[in-house]
Amino acid sequence: MVNNDEIFIDKYVFECLGELTIDYSRLSVVKYSPDLKVDKKIHNQTDMIYLWVIPKEDKKKIIYVGETRNSVKHRWNQHERAFTELLNQLGRIRNETLNKVRIIQLLNNDGNNRKKQRQFLTLMTGHDAPESVYVYAKKAKQQEIMGVNVSLRHAEEQAIMDKFDPKLNNIKPIHNE
């Protein structure tokens, strides 16, 4: 059965670049695995819109939309560092090895401001967690404005957020009082 998210992904020609998985054998835990069948050039293209998509009840659900002036590969490295820092912080503070159950406990008790990373890890370690999150991307549109070619990546990102209200884009930061 096709849903609105799937129709949108197909209509605007987003290409599946790979997947994000939880890898408990690595320190970083969240691992990006590029799809080797996809042309390697797209992983390094600049000025991109990207989506994190989960399979949900045999459908696709957009849970995050982002944009990057750099490549999706470069942007993922930034996301991965944020996850790694959060998990290292959680593990170091408590001087322990992390596993799925312990990550859930620590995330529930952690008061830092990395809400997007915390929410993603909570999603990926919950009782109905998806096996993977798929990364889709496309080149942002360009438009000539006042004689200058301008990227519409910010506008495209905002339009997708307005249309689909992705779970991880709408997290309010925790304010320590």
Domain presence at residue 86: yes
Mean confidence (pLDDT) of the chain = 76
Global pTM reads 0.76
Helix (H, G, I), strand (E, B) or coil at 22: strand
Q: What is the pLDDT of residue 11?
A: 92
Domain count for the chain, please give it.
1
Bridge partners for 51 per DSSP: 65, 136
Domain that holds residue 79: 4-169
Which residue blocks in the chain are alpha helix, DSSP H?
A: 4-11, 40-44, 72-94, 100-109, 115-125, 153-164
- 12, burial (CB in 10 Å: exposed 0-12, middle 13-18, buried 19+): middle
Q: Are 162 and 154 in contact (CB under 8 A)?
A: no
**For residue 113, what is the domain's CATH number?**
3.40.1440.40
Q: Is residue 27 situated within a structural domain?
A: yes
Instruction: Tell me the pLDDT tens digit for each residue of 72-131.
Output: 888 888 877 777 777 666 665 555 555 666 666 666 655 555 566 667 766 666 666 777
Confidence at residue 150, expressed as pLDDT on a 0 to 100 scale:
95
Instruction: Assess if residue 132 is contained within a domain.
Output: yes
In a domain, 174, yes or no: no
Residue 48 counted as domain residue: yes
Q: At what angle do helices 115-125 and 72-94 cross, to 10 degrees?
A: 80
* CA dist., res. 156 & res. 13, Å (int): 13
- In this structure, is residue 150 part of a structural domain? yes
pLDDT over 90 (residue 149): yes
Instruction: Grade residue 154 by pLDDT with cuts at 50, 70 and 90.
Output: very high
**22 inside domain:** yes
Confidence category of residue 169, pLDDT binned at 50, 70, 90: confident
Sign of the C-alpha dihedral computed for residues 59, 159, 136 and 121 taken in this order: negative
State residue 124's pLDDT score.
66
pLDDT of residue 158: 94
Domain-located, residue 176 = no
Span 152-165, average pLDDT: 93
What pLDDT digit, counting tens, does each position of 1-55 carry?
567 898 999 899 998 888 877 665 554 456 666 666 676 677 778 899 999 998 8
- 56-78 pLDDT tens trace: 777 888 988 999 999 888 888 88
In sequence order, the 6+-apart residues with CB closer than 8 A to the CB of 28 are 80, 83, 84, 87
